[in-house]
Amino acid sequence: MLRTLVLIFCCLCVAIVLSEVAGGLLLWQRGFLTAHHVKEIRLILTNESAAEEVETNVAKTAPLPSLQEVTQARAVKILDLERRESELATLKNMANENASGLDLEQESFRTQRKTFEADLAKLERQVTDAGTEQARGVLLALAPKDAVEKLMQLSAEEDVVLLKGMPEKSIAKILKEFRGTPDQIERSRKVFEAISRAAPTSSLLSDAKKNFSTGNDEPAN
């Protein structure tokens, strides 16, 4: 049994080999078994890409570019560079225009800020002047002695501001009352000196100064 199987297997192998030889001879006789076909069969059997070889052969056999083609390619690159330079110049101009616009906006903002600050300062002066006038009116309505008490609660500079806007007679009456205490006497001296430096001393203020000098010699009550 085993010998029979071996015999059958050997016969099959011999038959296959003979068939391949007969096929090869037939292809050779018909001109299909050439070196090119054998090479292609080998490439297929070895899993190599015939396309790579074809591309290599095409690259080897491809003609070199002509002078005109090289010139055209160079011209295209030059035009592309010029186009990019033009785009960059346009972007630069846009950036410069935006910067100029920003400078104008900042200048306008600074102008508006200065105007606002000037208006605010004017408003503050108006409010201060209104308050000063009101305080001055209160002092004029008080008796000179009471007015001195109110002025002693303020600084010498504030006293000068309030007194300078009053009539000279009222200033003289109030200054005459600055002789109750050493602090009042010192305050009257500072206020009178400040007023006299700011404007020519009138006759009434001169009389008041004489009264201060006379009053300073009297003992304080």
Q: Which of 40-49, 55-64, 192-201 has the lowest mean pLDDT?
A: 55-64
Q: How big, in percent rounded to 5, are the helix, strand and coil portions of the chain? A: 85, 0, 15
Rounded to an integer, the average pLDDT of 91-101 is 87
Is pLDDT at 89 greater than 80 in this prediction?
Answer: yes
The average confidence (pLDDT) of the chain is 76
Question: ∠59-62-66 over CA atoms, to 5°?
Answer: 130
Which pLDDT value is given to residue 216?
47
Question: ∠104-106-107 over CA atoms, to 5°?
Answer: 65
Q: Which of 43-52, 81-90, 95-104 has the lowest mean pLDDT?
A: 43-52
The pTM (predicted TM-score) of the whole model is 0.38
Question: pLDDT tens across 122-140, in order?
Answer: 877 877 777 888 888 888 8
Of 179, 172, 166, 176, nearest to 140 by C-alpha is: 166
Which pLDDT value is given to residue 73?
84
Which pLDDT value is given to residue 105?
85
pLDDT band for position 37 (50/70/90)? low
The label of the residue with tokens 């050997």 reads 10
pLDDT band for position 46 (50/70/90)? low
Residue ranges covered by each domain of the chain: 142-217
Which pLDDT value is given to residue 54?
54
In whole angstroms, give the CA distance from residue 70 to residue 72: 5
Start-to-end Cα distance in the chain: 161
Residue with more model confidence, 95 or 50 = 95
Is pLDDT at 44 greater than 70 in this prediction?
Answer: no
Question: pLDDT tens across 203-216, in order?
Answer: 444 555 555 555 44
Rounded to an integer, the average pLDDT of 36-52 is 62
Rounded to an integer, the average pLDDT of 56-75 is 70
